[in-house]
Structure 1
Amino acid sequence: MYGLHTYGSATYGSGPLDDSPPPSGGALTLPLRITVVEAESIALPLRITRVQARSVALPLRISVVEEIDIALPLIITVQSSTITSPSRWRPVVTLGGVDVSARLTGEIRIESDEGEARIASFSINPAPGPLTLPDWTGAAVTIDIAQQDAAGNAIDARRLFTGVVDVPDLDVTERLVSFECTDQLQQVVRSLPKEWVDTNVGGYYSEAVSGESSDMLQYADARLASVPASLDLDPYQAARVTPWNIEDDPVLVLTEADIIFGSLRVELAGRANIRNEVETVLQYRFPRLRARVASANFERTINQYTSQGLDLLNRDMIEQALSSPQGWQLLGEINIVPVDPGTYESSGSGGTVYTVISATDAPQLSLGFAARFASRWVQWVTEEYRLTVSAQASIDALGLSRESSNGAVLDAEFDDGVWLSEPDAEPVLTLPTTGDVSLDYGGAGRTDRDAAQNAVRTLVAQARRQILAAHRDTRVSAMTPLHAGIDPRRRIEIDTAEVHALGKVVVVTHRMDIETGEHDTEFAIAISGFSAVGLQDDDPVDAPAAPVDPTPVPGASAYGCRCDMYIGQVSGAPEFDEANMIGYSTNAKAGAEFDANAPAYPYALSIEAPGIEAAVRDPITLAKPAGYAVAIPQDLFEVTIP
């Protein structure tokens, strides 16, 4: 069969094989002569394949010495010219801008794998004279297949490869130079604008998940990890993104007449490689900036002082006591309750006591005070998003096959030392009159709440892609006469008596042999889905709401400073306890309970600010589980045993 295998015929013991090609466009004639010298059965299976619809003649002469049975099964397939390369074809190869087609020898091979660089190889007989092989490294290369007109000219060329020479190799003995070429996928992607990648690849990108990209190739790979699609170059070296599940592009249908006999193969995906559930986790760690406002209040009436002859508070005492409670800062001014000048009389068992407050002393004395204090601290919070992505229909059909990914950690950058030591440091909290206020601080952009939600979406999308990839490992492969339109961009439907399948091309090899005339395309399509796996809904990859902090609201005591009153030299007064008697201490000089023999107390004032409970101070971890469903596309795949 010319164009696929060497054309020619010869009987055993006859002359040399005639392998000259038949005339273009003519009839294919295959003379056959069989001579039998002994009586036996003869079977002659014969298959003839043509790439164009032409007449086929099979003159047959059989000579038999004795009467015997002769069986001659004969299959003739005529392949449609609409999907194959022309019967008179020629390759067109340029090297460094120079057409070297006339010097080609051996096999030309172009290989295209989904998401990989397109590679090509060919050999030439170099022209006599000096060779500078390094000059060919990096030289531009194009490879086309074209029709050949009656004069031998190339017409209607179809591009198969555009790229550069990677490695030239000289075979001195055979006087051949072989070239290994690449379409420079990585270099082309590195030079793409970021806007092109964002628009055409799409998906999600998170530094917390993928790390910081050093160039556009890493950036594109990071986005592709969250998209069920592939990025490669077309035969003209232009970047393109192809979804695995193409819905809108036309389908190339190949029937039994289009496929080379014996080349159809099916390779089923093994259950061991199926993953239908992926667990991953994001830990988002950030500072929760907290502040609490507490009040300090103490006040007695003038009668409460004078009825027992008590000394009044003085301003210096108040200001000293309220100046610096540990861990708290005074807000604004202290509100001093003033005393009116005058003479105040108090009578009791000790007699009458007169308290005289002069106009000079009154400004230095006080009936009490009111003040507000604030405390600030940082509580580090870790939100742990436990994400489960699953294809339940696959689990129901095949059983659970789970995979756990490493997940990601997003740490907010924050200098809590500066914020705690400098009251005016950003961010500034708006303080309440009394009570608590908090702010979850993630910085601007890279580590804030939006960044955390984006990291969740990225992890979910990556897990979804893993599951989809695991369910498209079944391959159906075949070979046709060279078809320039078969490309990783295309969907192909194979419709034969044995196999009916539809899927996206994942591997293509074009081959042209100058010496034998063979020219074919070998390809494989990926089949998405699995036996008995049904359809289900596909959840969006939205991030869940932030977990709720279960810490209870503190009681009223958390917002008030302790400041009580302790009076000595009264009946039943205990010994003074500095550690526990927090507040204003003084001694009675009159009144019904006055007892000069009772313990005397110091004239002093102290306050005690409330403590910060551990629940709002110590680091906490808040868990948030979330589940996502994945729908597996179901490609057509039927196998029939005739």
Structure 2
Amino acid sequence: MLNQYPLNSTPINALAEEGTAPPVYLTAGYATRWRPVVTVGGVDLTERIAGVVDVDREEGAAGIAQFDLFFEPGSEVPIDLADQVVTIDYVAEVDGQTVTGRLFTGAVAEPSWSPTNRIMSISCTDRLQQRVEALTLAQVEALTPGFWSADVFEPVAGRSRWDYAQERMSTLTASLDCSAQGELRVTSWYATAPAFVFGDGTAVFQSISVALAQLREATNRAELEVNYRYQRLWQLNENYSWQHVGEHGLTEIQGFCQWRTWSTETPSVEMVESAIEGSGQVLIGTPRYQLLPASSGNPCGDGVPWINTNSAEQLLLAADVTGGRRWAQTVTETYRITLATAAGLVEATRVVSRDSLSFEVEDERVSDWENSLTSVAQSDLTGPPSLPVGVPSGGWAWTPNGGQVDVIDEARRVNGLRVGIRRAVVELISAHRQTTVSWDVPTSLALDVDLVHTLELDDQYTRARGKCRRVQHRLDMDSGEAITTLSIAVMRGGGDSDALVVPGRPDTSVPPLSSTPGPPNAGRLPTQIGGRLNHPPNASGPTDGGPVEPYDDELDGFAGNYSTTDDLTAEQFPRRFTLTAREIPELYRDELTRSTETLLRVGIPNDLLEL
């Protein structure tokens, strides 16, 4: 070798500097004497090689090797061979110069002894899987620069490092394998400028084969549906106001004096708060209550004393209260993403694969959201609804009547979609590199060829260029033949590419809750007073008095009776206080689904292929 290139492959002093090296043009016609050098556990066992030494290295797979060792009678046969380090080198003499190349580095996997022939058959592996399995998570991530999401794959803890590496590789248009020196590496599938060009006469006669991609393998359209689900937390605050009609719109002592003339039953604080609870709401904020005044000698200035015998009951003439409710609504964002090559855009030529993914943002901090509402300070009513400790409060769409927060995880959404998109791209690219061109060359011409290289063939009416996908060496000690089979993957497809951008979120907004019909008369709950046939003037009915309307059980607010009756047959109304919670429309309760559709074009390089 000269400067890492096979002899007679390029003119002396014509090598470019590192990073700018031109292709190595290989030529045939040189006589070669060769021999293998095989070591096991550091011991050179080349002299015991019998038959053929095979080495097979393929992208994305463990490299393997096989050879036989002959032990004559009386010689010591090694027993503990499993996992012993194995190296296989190729040494050749070309025009008087020695060329050396490493073909394989690995370990004994399966030794097999034949007492009859005294042959130890050795199968070897480069231990790709085992070496990856021994890495830490950080080392796997550094080795495989792909994407990964716990919403697409199983959790990493306690799982195989090899599986984890393969999951990360599933988002890369690349392969993970070992070099001939045993180094772990990741190499791209895309062809670059050729590192080696095999020209006229370099390929063994009639050894060229072309395996064209088949229709059943040529997926050109991937349809991905991703369902991203999360919880929307709602809080609705409803204000209720009630004032006894007998106060005639006045408040405090003036209103009391109006009511006292024709006094009636009144509700208690307990009745109002029970009504809030009975409607499925929680009393929040600081209620404003107008209680009946304490006993006084002349509260109204008319010389008539007032004795409050029910102060412990906390009877009311007016109340302003706020009831709150919380509930959780499931929101599902559906992303329909189509990735297509040029052929996949045409209906007549589509070969479609479909996949789906669903994941949900779960948060134990909001698992009991509906039951988490408790009384809060009045100041909280002017801002977003209170959340349990630790629950994120950003993103509220606040109105005076209520608010909402979406418990989302944008990083998870983006990462999950990105992994799904990248896996689909890998599927399409892989399907368009199924054409394989293979040819045989003398091993001396292929010593420096590796799976990372782009190779070009121009021989026997075949021109092809692609990334090397397989290298197979066969060294026959009996026939003296050393042949290497090279295989390249040829991409074909063409077309343009779009940036692989994760789609934005669909619009999941809904009209504010304040736009929905509120509870009847919530702003001014009515009063209906019975116990008389007729209302006195300026009492709890029409200003001029008049007949008492029949009791209406459907009417919210307070119902009770006058303190004095005008007829013993008059209907007695039940003393009660009721209110109704706002009916929440299905739009705010049932699962809300919104979707978006995205088309991403995936262009495929057209590697050289002329037959």
Q: Give the alignment's TM-score, normalised by structure 1.
A: 0.76
1:575 and 2:550 matched: yes
State which drifts further: 553-562 or 463-472.
553-562
- Counterpart pick for 2:152 among 209, 212, 225: 209
Rounded to whole Å, the distance in 1 between the matches of 2:490 and 2:168 is 24
Alignment partner of 2:151: what SS? helix
1:462 aligns with 2:423: yes
Q: Judging changes above 3 Å, is the alpha-carbon distance between structure 1 residues 550 and 316 closer, same or farther for their aligned structure 2 residues?
A: closer
SS of 1:210's equivalent in the other structure is coil
- Listed one character per residue, the Cα deviations across residues 395-446 of structure 1 (whole Å, up to 9, x for unaligned) are 449711111124344462547654433447445586968422222225xxxx
Provide the C-alpha distance between the structure 2 equivalents of 1:491 and 1:111, rounded to a whole number of angstroms. 18
Cα root mean square deviation, aligned: 3.6
State which of 491, 494, 505 in structure 2 corresponds to 1:545: 505
2:276–2:323: 8 Å Cα contact kept in structure 1? no
In structure 1, the residue matched to 2:599 is 627
Determine if contact 2:467/2:488 at 8 Å carries over to the other structure: yes
Distance of aligned partners of 1:560 and 1:118 in 2 relative to their CA distance in 1, 3 Å threshold? farther
Deviations 1:131-189 (A, max 9, x none): 566411111100001135999xx955311100111111223333221111100010111
Paired residue type of 1:564: P
**Which residue among 401, 407, 426 is the counterpart of 1:435?**
401
Do 1:481 and 1:521's aligned partners in 2 also have CA atoms closer than 8 Å?
A: yes
Question: What's 2:187 paired with?
Answer: 242
Which structure 2 residues correspond to residues 174-185 of structure 1 after superposition, within 5 A?
Answer: 174-185=117-128
Task: Confirm or deny that 1:298 pairs with 2:246.
Answer: no
Structure possessing the higher relative contact order (Cα contacts under 8 Å, 6 or more residues apart): 2
Q: Secondary structure at the residue paired with 2:239?
A: strand
Mapped contact 2:223–2:337 kept (Cα < 8 A)? yes
Q: For 1:120 and 1:572, how far apart are their aligned partners in 2?
A: 109
1:627 corresponds to which letter in structure 2? L
Residue in structure 1 matched with residue 104 of structure 2 by the alignment: 161
Is the 1:288–1:379 contact (alpha carbons within 8 Å) kept by the matching residues of 2? yes
Q: Which of 468, 473, 480 is the aligned partner of 2:441? A: 480
* Aligned pairs (5 A) from 1:384-533: 384-396=334-346, 399-410=349-360, 412=362, 414=364, 418-423=368-373, 425-428=388-391, 434-442=400-408, 448-482=409-443, 483-496=446-459, 498-530=461-493
| Deviation per residue, 1:471-507 (Å, 9 max, x gap) | 1111111111001222221110112361221101112
Amino acid of the structure 1 residue aligned with 2:438: S
Aligned residues: 543
Q: Give 3-state SS (helix, strand or coil) of 1:540's partner.
A: coil
Larger-gyration structure (1/2) = 1
User: Contact conserved, 2:210 with 2:437, CA < 8 A, in 1?
Assistant: yes
- Partner residue, 2:284: 331
Match of 2:209 among 248, 260, 265: 265
> Please, which moves more after superposition, 94-103 or 355-364?
355-364
Q: Is the 8 A contact 1:122 1:179 kept in 2?
A: yes
Classify 1:263/1:371 alpha carbon distance in 2 versus 1 (closer, same or farther; 3 Å). Answer: same
Amino acid at match of 1:391: T
| Secondary structure of the corresponding residue to residue 131 of structure 2 | helix
Matching residue of 1:60: none
Q: Measure, in 2, the Cα distance between the counterparts of 1:93 and 1:454.
A: 47
8 Å Cα contact 1:266-1:476 kept in structure 2: yes
Letter of the structure 1 residue corresponding to residue 432 of structure 2 = H
Map of 1:113 onto structure 2: 58
Change over 3 Å in CA distance of 1:547–1:146 after alignment to 2: farther
For residues 162 and 85 of structure 1, the distance between their equivalents in structure 2, rounded to whole angstroms, comes to 28
Does the 8 Å CA contact 2:30/2:94 hold for their aligned counterparts? no
Alpha-carbon distance in 2 for matches of 1:195, 1:557: 56
- How many angstroms apart in 2 are the aligned matches of 1:427 and 1:558? 32
Is the Cα contact below 8 Å between 1:106 and 1:123 reproduced in 2?
yes
Partner of 2:87: 142
Once the two structures are superposed, what CA deviation does each residue of 1:568-622 show, in whole Å capped at 9, x if it has no partner? Answer: 33444343233x122112345799xx98865342343222232333322223333
- Larger mean CA deviation between 263-272 and 560-569 belongs to 560-569
SS in 2 for 1:462: helix
Q: 1:545 to 1:433 in 2, by over 3 A?
A: closer
Q: Structure 1 residues 362 and 536 mapped into 2: Cα distance closer, same or farther (>3 Å)?
A: same
Q: Is the 8 A contact 1:52 1:87 kept in 2?
A: no
- In 2, the alpha carbon distance for the partners of 1:501 and 1:193 equals 40
**Cα gap change, 1:526 to 1:222, in 2 (>3 Å):** same
What is the CA–CA distance in structure 2 between the aligned matches of 1:217 and 1:82, rounded to whole Å?
Answer: 41
> 2:26 & 2:563 partners in 1: Cα distance?
124
> Do 1:84 and 1:480's aligned partners in 2 also have CA atoms closer than 8 Å?
no
User: Who is 1:565 aligned against?
Assistant: 527
Q: Separation in 2 of the partners of 1:318 and 1:574? A: 23
Q: How much does 1:317 deviate?
A: 5.2
Residue of structure 1 in register with 2:538 after alignment? none
What is the CA deviation profile of residues 73-95 of structure 1, one whole-angstrom value per residue up to 9, with x for unaligned ones?
xxxxxxx9768997122111101
- What's the secondary structure of 1:367's corresponding residue? strand
1:394 CA displacement: 4.9
Following the alignment from structure 2 to structure 1, what is the Cα–Cα distance between the partners of residues 237 and 507?
26
Distance of 2:324 and 2:264 partners within structure 1? 30
The code of the aligned residue for 1:440 comes to D
Structure-1 separation of matches of 2:166 and 2:584? 48
The answer (yes or no) to whether the contact 1:395–1:401 under 8 Å persists in 2 is no
Contact 1:309 1:355 in 2 (8 A): no
Distance 1:453 1:558, change over 3 A: farther
Partner of 2:3: none
Identity of paired residues, percent? 26
Deviation at 1:98, TM superposition (A): 0.0
C-alpha spacing 1:81/1:208, structure 2 compared with 1 (3 Å): closer
Distance 1:264 1:416, change over 3 A: same
1:505·1:525 contact (CA, 8 Å) conserved in 2?
Answer: yes
Q: Is the 8 A contact 2:129 2:162 kept in 1?
A: yes
Q: Could you report, residue by residue, the CA deviation over 1:202-253 in whole angstroms, capped at 9, with x for unpaired residues? A: 2211122222241221111001111110000001111100110143x65211
| Aligned-partner Cα distance in 2 for 1:230–1:493 | 20
Give the counterpart letter for 2:137 in structure 1. K
Which deviates more from structure 2 when the two are superposed, residues 374-383 or residues 181-190? 374-383
Question: Could you say if the C-alpha distance between residues 52 and 588 of structure 1 is closer, same or farther in structure 2, counting changes exceeding 3 Å?
Answer: closer
Q: Deviations over 1:530-556 (max 9, x none)?
A: 4xxx33123314243244245674536
For structure 1, the residue ranges without an aligned partner over 5 or more in a row are 1-50, 54-79, 347-353, 443-447
Asked if structure 1 preserves the Cα contact closer than 8 Å seen for 2:456 and 2:465, the reply is yes
SS of equivalent residue, structure 2 residue 485? strand
1:312 positional shift: 6.6
Contact 2:264 2:529 in 1 (8 A): no
Shift of 1:321: 4.0
Q: Secondary structure at the match of 2:492?
A: coil
Name which of structure 1's ranges 397-406 and 259-268 shifts more when overlaid on structure 2.
397-406
- Following the alignment from structure 2 to structure 1, what is the Cα–Cα distance between the partners of residues 326 and 233? 8
Contact 2:152 2:357 in 1 (8 A): yes
**In the alignment, which residue of structure 1 is the partner of 2:219?**
275
Residues 64-79 of structure 1 correspond to what in structure 2 (within 5 A)?
none
What's the TM-score once normalised by structure 2's chain length?
Answer: 0.79
